[in-house]
Amino acid sequence: MTTTSAPPEPPRPKRRVGDRIFAGSATGAGILILVVLAGVAAFLVSEAWPAVTAPAGDIPGGDGLTAYIAPLIFGTLLAAVIALVVATPLAVAIALYITYYAPRRLAAGMGYVIDLLAAIPSVVYGFWGIAALAPAMVPFYVWAEEHLSFIPLFAGPASATGRTMLTAGLMLGVMILPIISAISREVFSQAPALHREAALALGATRWEMIKMAVLPYGKSGVIGGAMLGLGRALGETLAIAIVLSASGGITFNLISNSNPSTIAANIALKFPESTGLDVNTLIASGLALFVITLAVNMLARWVVNRRADFSGAN
Amino acid sequence: MAKRIDVSDLDIYYGNFLAVQGVNISIEPRSITALIGPSGCGKSTFLRSLNRMHEVIPGARVEGKVVIDGQDLYGADVDPVDVRRQIGMVFQRPNPFPTMSIYDNVAAGLRLNAKKVKKAELDDLVERSLKGANLWTEVKDRLNRPGSGLSGGQQQRLCIARAIAVEPEVLLMDEPCSALDPISTLAIEDLMTELKERFTIVIVTHNMQQAARVSESTGFFNLAGVGQPGRLVEFNPTEKIFSNPDEKATEDYISGRFG
Amino acid sequence: MTTATQPAPGGTEQQGLVERHRQLPRFALAGLFAVGAVVGVLASVLTGFNLVLAVIYAVVLGTLSVYVASRSVEGSRKAVDRLVTCVVTTAFAVAMVPLVSLIWTVLGRGLRRLDGEFFNSSMLGVVGEGGGAYHAILGTLIITGLTALISVPIGLLTAIYIVEYGTGRLKKAITFLVDVMTGIPSIVAGLFAFALFAIFFGPGVRLGIMGATALSVLMIPVVVRSSEEVLKLVPNELREAAYALGVPKWRTIVKVVIPTAIAGLATAVTLAIARVIGETAPLLITVGIINGTNLDPIDGRMATLPVFAYYQLTQPGFPPEFAIDRAWTAALILIILVMALNVVARLISRFFAPKTGR
């Protein structure tokens, strides 16, 4: 530790055996993570490779890998975007309510409940989606088909079971709601008290104080939280597999029974019965999902870190 | 037990940044040496280089010599851990271990090094150290209470007890009273004058009255200029520094005409 | 409430030193909201009653009446504030609806089979009524335990590396890759474990340990992230105090840093376990499901609670209602497990935190 790259290198001091062992194992664990991640990428690529090189006719569907994966990617993105659009404003409202509106004594308990909801296993959300949410949405779908069918999103025919893309997206929204609001709540509550008090001292109302001192400070945190939620929604598997009635094909029709599946749900549904090249194809689609979530997560980190410099936290 | 410290041509770096340059100083045993000077001039850095504590900051290193009774602290085969056992340190803010009781805090130096000590000996050591730090009467009935439950001044004396329990030869103190109220400060100053019978004490302080009250010799550190490394401007007996310093800069600083 | 900056359009009255704006009393606001709400309900009744529409009308009209009244009495700034309060509160209530409905549904349907038989019988030879999740509960405990056994040491050591030892490029790379790892979708982790074991055992392999491997990929980054945060909270002064006593670095970490952080570390590990115990997708493709009890994680398929719940719901057989009841009870037990772990984590952090008697 005494030395850096400075030219007249003094001899390294001897290190104790205990120190060497401990430092070695800690470093080893860190390096293991590098190896694992490299392994994830390497194994996925090696198992996906046969599907990439296979002739188009051998891939399920018979039109090649791109034609197989494209609708899945579309479905994944569509469901995740619906979830994000629904969840973000609500999550911000929850966070604001808990931090600045709720009675003090209730606020801590509410925050705790939200944290608990973030921990509920996704398969349980799937159960709720098909048992409670889907039937509850059916009347709306019928009404939407009657009155809104001029909008392509509501072209119909309306699903009688409610297992539509919109239901799946809403359910994903409910799932990521606790995640986004937990992060937003944290940044909102960290908004500097000095700024908040300064705003109030100038005679601002509560909303003006939030607009002046809290939202600008918390914006990057909200964006980061939304991106993390998006990452979670993209990778969500079984809840979608349970709720969505999928038949392939790219469509923006949100209320019908024929929807594109998502990558993760498709893998979960097909994998247990697949063999041979089908497995390779599924792994190739998994690789695509890996790349997409990776990109989203990196973007999220970048946004959060970039804004961190300007957040006034220091 | 107290020892003499000779520093010659000491340069201290953080990475490629030269923080302190060309310090030559001889610190007498069984005395208190105060280091004064404006903020950021390298007093604390210099103090920490005396027991190789600055090395915990990555990239920090020194050139030059620090010799304690003929032994070079920066010799090739010297383990910094051994150096720190000989040269204890007390920090700016009291930092008792929060997971340990008052008793365990004092015994920490031995316990943490897994020395096998008999219970009776350890009891004795704890009592001696706490008495040495003028804390025994205040805490003897609650040795098993957490150390963080004491007041700030008591915590600092607990830290001093912890430092002297390992029986070092030198005690370094980095602004030990800056986080304390005047009464606690007085208690620590009284303690220092008692401790100098047994230890060589070096203290960094921003409080010039404190330096004048407790120390035999005083060193004045200053920056050579903006962006320049800090250096030792003057080192003299405390009386001389405060009445008739050799350097103009020292006089300006002491009389408040600095800057 | 009291400001002296702007004369309110509604007029002001002098009271001592402070100018007081005219202000609506609390009960008036509540009353206004209620009046609006009642009008809304009436409107929906007149147009053919529908519970959802009634609530929407009520909230919208209630909010509007508060806004209008506030605007005419208290001025526009105050009115906007009141409007936002209504909107935020409404949004909060809206968001709570699905979450409450979820708990309600799972409780209502899961309680039916929450009986002794569910806990002490497997599905071996069960068609239709009866049966239980004994095998799946044990399987989940075994696989989660194995996962923790793999992930906790690796995760903790990595966090220690990042906080205490790491320097330069390797530290940056590892921190970055842990971030990347947190984003791995669970199904991809499952595929990884499958691909890894398929190389050695052939493509048809299903083992408990495969599931533990997949879950570890998900759990390690969670452990690293949260224990890293906890270790960073240990004040540097304590490390320096130990160094100054001549304590070697590794002993400082083991005897000072970790004991100081132990409550936070235990909480972090517990929450990480709660996070993976309900993971379904990776187990679906690596461990599969069986009807009997297999407690050996290196010998063939095992049953796990989430996968059990999934298959009971989606492939119930005939007659379906018994399997579906079992599925809901399994889901309820999963939620209870997760909640219990969260409560345990809370208790740990409350009771084992170092006592600062200030």
pLDDT above 70 as % of chain C: 92
Low-confidence ranges of chain B (pLDDT < 70): 1-2, 257-259
Q: Counting one residue from A and one from C, how many pairs have CB atoms under 8 Å apart?
A: 267
C174-192 burial by CB neighbour count: b if 16+ within 10 A, else e?
bbebbbbbbbbbbbbbbbb
Say if residue C43's pLDDT is above 70: yes
**A-chain residue closest to C53, CA distance:** A140
In this complex, which of A43, A90, A301 lies closest to C94 when CB atoms are compared? A90
**Which chain A positions have a beta carbon within 8 Å of B77's beta carbon?**
13-14
For the stretch A101-117, pLDDT in tens is: 888 888 888 888 888 88
What is the arithmetic mean of pLDDT over C122-131? 81
> How many other CB atoms are found less than 10 A from the CB of residue A182?
21
- Of C5 and B255, which is predicted with more confidence? B255
**Element of type H or E holding A141:** helix A134-148
The pLDDT of residue A214: 86
**Which chain B positions have a beta carbon within 8 Å of A6's beta carbon?**
13, 16, 61
Say if residue A7's pLDDT is above 70: no
Distance CA A302, CA A289 (A): 20
The pLDDT of residue A312: 43
Chains touching B by CB (3 or more pairs below 8 Å): A, C
CB contact under 8 A, C245 and B91: no
Domains of chain C: 12-111 (no CATH), 117-351 (1.10.3720.10)
Residue B229 in contact with residue B13, Cβ under 8 Å?
A: no
**A-chain residue closest to B73, CA distance:** A13
Distance CA A133, CA A79 (A): 15
Q: Choose, out of C245, C253, C257, C358, the residue to mutate when testing the contact with B (most B CBs < 10 Å).
A: C245
**Element of type H or E holding B223:** strand B217-223
The pLDDT of residue A67: 87
**Which chain C positions have a beta carbon within 8 Å of A18's beta carbon?**
248, 250-251
**Which chain A positions have a beta carbon within 8 Å of B13's beta carbon?**
6
CB contact under 8 A, B16 and A6: yes
pLDDT confidence tier of residue A4, bands split at 50, 70 and 90 = very low
Say if residue A12's pLDDT is above 80: no
What phi and psi values does residue B25 have, to the nearest 5 degrees?
-160, 145
Chain B segment 4-33 residues within 8 A of A by beta carbon are 13, 15-16
**C-chain residue closest to A277, CA distance:** C203
Q: Choose, out of B81, B83, B145, B167, the residue to mutate when testing the contact with C (most C CBs < 10 Å).
A: B81
Mean pLDDT in chain A? 83
Say if residue C30's pLDDT is above 90: no
CB contact under 8 A, C185 and A97: no
In this complex, which of C78, C250, C284 lies closest to A272 when CB atoms are compared? C284
CB contact under 8 A, A18 and C248: yes
State the number of CA atoms in the 13 A half-sphere of C171 facing the CB.
11
Mean pLDDT in chain C? 84
Classify C207 as helix, strand or coil: coil
**B-chain residue closest to A18, CA distance:** B113
In this complex, which of B85, B148, B166 lies closest to C356 when CB atoms are compared? B148
Distance CA A290, CA A297 (A): 10
Q: Does domain B5-94+172-254 match CATH 3.40.50.300?
A: yes
Distance CA A300, CA C255 (A): 37
Distance CA C8, CA C20 (A): 9
Cα distances from A225 to residues A96, A181, A187, B37, C180, in angstroms, run 14, 8, 10, 48, 15
d(CA C259, nearest CA chain A) in Å: 17
Chains touching C by CB (3 or more pairs below 8 Å): A, B
Distance CA C130, CA C109 (A): 16
pLDDT confidence tier of residue C82, bands split at 50, 70 and 90 = confident
The pLDDT of residue A307: 56
The pLDDT of residue C20: 55
Which of A307, A143, B145, A114 shows the shortest CA–CA distance to C53? A143
pLDDT confidence tier of residue A2, bands split at 50, 70 and 90 = very low
**Which chain C positions have a beta carbon within 8 Å of A43's beta carbon?**
192, 195-196, 199
For the stretch C155-210, pLDDT in tens is: 999 999 999 888 888 888 888 888 888 888 999 999 999 888 888 888 788 899 99
The pLDDT of residue C16: 53
In this complex, which of C245, C251, C256 lies closest to B166 when CB atoms are compared? C245
For the stretch A190-234, pLDDT in tens is: 888 888 888 888 888 888 888 888 888 888 888 888 888 888 899
Q: Choose, out of C19, C88, C218, the residue to mutate when testing the contact with A (most A CBs < 10 Å).
A: C88
The pLDDT of residue C212: 95
Name the one residue in this structure whose structure tokens are 């002297």. Answer: B164
Q: How far is CA B110 from the centre of its chain?
A: 20
**C-chain residue closest to A128, CA distance:** C102
CB contact under 8 A, C278 and A124: yes
- Of C37 and A32, which is predicted with more confidence? A32
What is the arithmetic mean of pLDDT over C269-280? 90
Domain spans of chain A? 54-308
Q: Which neighbouring-strand residues pair with B169? A: none
Say if residue A41's pLDDT is above 70: yes
Q: What tokens were used for A265?
A: 């749900």
For the stretch A279-294, pLDDT in tens is: 889 999 999 999 998 8
Domain spans of chain B? 5-94+172-254
The pLDDT of residue A179: 87
Does A19 contact chain C (CB < 8 Å)?
yes
For the stretch A140-195, pLDDT in tens is: 888 888 888 788 788 778 788 888 899 999 999 999 998 888 888 888 888 888 88
A278-295 burial by CB neighbour count: b if 16+ within 10 A, else e?
bbbbbbbbbbbbbebbbe
Which of A236, A237, A185, A193 shows the shortest CA–CA distance to A213? A193
For the stretch C131-161, pLDDT in tens is: 888 999 999 999 999 999 999 999 999 999 9
CATH of domain A54-308: 1.10.3720.10
d(CA B167, nearest CA chain C) in Å: 10
